[in-house]
A and B are shown apart, each in its own frame.
Chain A
Amino acid sequence: METTFALWLHGISDALQPTNLLFAFLGCIIGTLVGVLPGLGPAAAMAILVPLTYDLGPVPAIVMLSAIYFGTQYGGTITSVLVNVPGESTSVVTCLDGHPMAKNGRAGAALGIAAIGSLFAGLVGTFLLMVLALPLSSLALRFGPVEMFALLIVGLSLVMSFRGGSLLAAFAMTVVGLMLGLVGLDPVQGAPRFTFGNANLFDGIELVTVIMGLFGIGELLLSLEERAPQPITRKITSLLPHKEERKDAGMAIARGTGVGFALGIIPGMAGIVPTFMAYALEKRLSKHPERFGEGAIEGVATAEASNNAHAQASMIPLLTLGIPGTATLAVMMGAFMINGITPGPFLFIDHPETVWAVIGSFIVGNVVLFVLNFPLVQVWVQVLRIPRRFLQAAILIFCIIGAYTLRQNPFDVLVMIIFGVIGYGLKKLDWPAVPLVIALILGPLLERALRQGLELSNGDATVFVTTPISAVLLGLAVLIVGFSLIANMRAGKAAKALVSNPADRADTTS
């Protein structure tokens, strides 16, 4: 226990080194700046900014990327409140009350409570991450290939199931991700597959180019067909909520943190689920539920706290099991790997100094972000005044730089453009892109675990259901998919009923 505490302190003191602190500051500023750009979510923002960290070394690079991660999230909050455009799905809930607050002249209070809620959730979440990381990674170390295969199946099932929309489409996208993950060298025997003699494909399809394409270029192309949203750019005089508002928001922040962390720890759980659940819980517990959607500060507080607690908690499956639950964490995993560090149970054994410094930097990053945002909020508001076409051109040029500098190869830029067009098409088709990205990362791990499991059992596939942990995990995966299937069918029936009975629709929308 004492040793663990010493590791925590060591991690925090490493994160407080002047160099790391500087990169945390830079990361927060750049992250918030990019996160503020409407239509650019944290995943794409981080993917674009990965090249900035190439030459920094593992700890500063990941400290800076973590700070960029927190910064993009807060930047997304600013856009949600002032422009009513959520940078990512989790910010949808912030828009519900944040934008009405801004329209009522309370943008400062909305942004202030979001910063306070995020800081609280970030600190509590990081503390819980520190407590749980070692026991979980020790548990995962006992997993052989059979258990690991089952665990990865659970992760993929969760990624498919908690996105909303068609389960079959999510499944199909997961399989496409697995197929794309097969391009390159066979992870077991090293023979090239699906490369068609093209040496550029021997290392596989670069994750960062896929993410920049799907979430950066794809979103940008879609935004070209939409009208530019009008931001609220009135001067923000104070970020401090009134005493009454602080009282209302206090418990909402605590509950949001609890819900966000509890659900965020589940591998593959999308952030939108805990954020909506926290919002629904707050509305149910409120004495004035009618204020929700009209500018209730508790709505903003709980959504932001839940969102940030989820962000911290989702680091646990990434760091301990090597399973990224969101596209943003997929970029983070890519950045770890670029720096020669593979997230997973061995991370805490092979690179303890790095991983504890990174965890320590989460605390530093959250505090730095909070401190920076109070004086800089007016600057972020000014960014929203820049005509959209300049931002679009800037995003595109950064995407080109990001893709090219991965391997100094224009081939990666072309791959990014292809995935940009695919991302645009997927949005039009209403098919989810996140399962594709997660499956692209987990595919090689899944294949290796499956093949090694079968080799160990001499080709006996029943090993996956006769090994107790694997059987439980696979049973869980079946339950998750079954539950999601039933929910999908119910949603389909409800939608059909609405179409056949327009009166109901009128009631629902009113």
Chain B
Amino acid sequence: MDDYNLSRTPDTHRPMHQFIFNRQRVAALLLALFSGLFLFEASSYPYMDWIGPGSGFFPIWTGSLALASFLGLALLAKKREAAAAEDEGERLALRQGRLQVAITVAALIGAALLLEPLGFILTSGLFVFGLLWLYGSRPLTAILSGIVAGPVLYYLFLILHVRLPVGILGI
């Protein structure tokens, strides 16, 4: 009952330093690139105008500081010592966990895009059903939860004067 459909093994507690193995450098370089682009855009705004600093003044300084700090982080990021060798079960569990993360993000994006065309009741119903099923609930439980969740939340928020979108089907 508690097992996920993506059959996770239970022991997935892992020290954080395993995850940051050399990723800091890649992330810092990507963010340095982002800072460079930010700086490029900032340079299109006036640095000074007739009353004093213009709308480009603060962005240029901020972008420069960001670029410097991310380059610094990229330089100082050290290749961390990997923790104890992972066994096959741990690796599999991690992969499945990441797959769940990806599916959840995709489901969220789907819900955001469908919210207005389909309306809240249908979108949330589909979202709750899909996630619960993927997270390991029995199909019947997932379907019932999906059917109940949408209308209950819609009318709860209506009572609180918070309007949620009604879709093309009028619900």
Contact = CB atoms under 8 A, between A and B. Distances in A.
Interface of A: 51-52, 54-55, 166, 168-169, 171-172, 175-176, 178-179, 182, 186, 188-189, 191, 193-194, 217, 220-221, 224-228, 387, 389-390, 392-393, 396-397, 400-401, 404-405, 408, 410, 413-414, 417, 420-421, 424-425, 427-431, 446-447, 450-451, 454-455, 458-459, 499
B58 A450 contact: yes
Given A193-B55, A420-B105, A428-B23, A227 B12 contact: yes
Contacts of A168: 69, 72-73, 76
Contacts of A425: 27
A189 B51 CA distance: 11
Given A172-B70, A451-B57, A217 B115 contact: no
Contacts of B55: 186, 188-189, 191, 193
Q: Which of A220, A389, A446 has the most CB of B within 10 A?
A: A389
Interface of B: 1-2, 4, 8, 10-13, 16-17, 19-20, 23-24, 27-28, 31, 35, 38, 41, 45, 48-49, 51-55, 57-59, 62-63, 65-66, 69-70, 72-73, 76, 81, 94, 97-98, 100-101, 104-105, 108-109, 111-113, 115-116, 120, 124, 127-128, 131-132, 135-137, 145, 149, 153, 157, 160-165
B53 A428 contact: no
B20 A172 contact: no
A390 B127 contact: no
Contact of A175 (B17, B23, B62, B105): B62
Contacts of B137: 387, 389-390
B69 A178 contact: no
B57 A226 contact: no
Contacts of B162: 51-52, 54-55, 401, 405
16 contacts: A168-B73, A176-B31, A179-B62, A179-B63, A179-B66, A182-B58, A182-B59, A194-B59, A224-B97, A225-B97, A226-B12, A227-B12, A396-B131, A408-B165, A417-B108, A451-B52
Given A51-B162, A410-B113, A451 B108 contact: no
B52 A420 contact: no
B104 A221 contact: yes
Nearest to B12: A227
A393 B128 contact: yes
Interface of B is mostly: helix
Contacts, number: 178
A221 B135 CA distance: 12
Given A172-B66, A408-B163, A429-B23, A393 B108 contact: no
B62 A455 contact: no
Contact of B112 (A54, A186, A400): A400
A226 B13 contact: yes
A389 B69 contact: no
A226 B97 contact: yes
Given A417-B109, A454-B52, 13 more contacts: A55-B162, A172-B66, A175-B65, A191-B45, A224-B100, A389-B131, A390-B137, A393-B127, A393-B132, A400-B108, A417-B108, A429-B24, A451-B57
B166 to A, nearest CB: 12
Contact of B31 (A172, A400, A413, A451): A172
Contacts of A179: 35, 38, 59, 62-63, 66
A396 B108 contact: yes
Contacts of A169: 73
A186 B56 CA distance: 9
A446 B58 CA distance: 9
B131 A393 contact: yes
Contacts of B52: 451, 454-455, 458-459
A138 to B, nearest CB: 29
Given A168-B76, A429-B20, A429-B27, A451 B58 contact: yes
B51 A225 contact: no
B83 to A, nearest CB: 12
Contacts of B66: 172, 175-176, 179
Contacts of A392: 131, 135
B105 A221 contact: yes
Nearest to A398: B153
Contact of B153 (A191, A193, A401, A454): A401
Contacts of B17: 430
B3 to A, nearest CB: 11
Nearest to A426: B27
A458 B145 CA distance: 64
Contacts of B45: 191, 193
A508 to B, nearest CB: 15
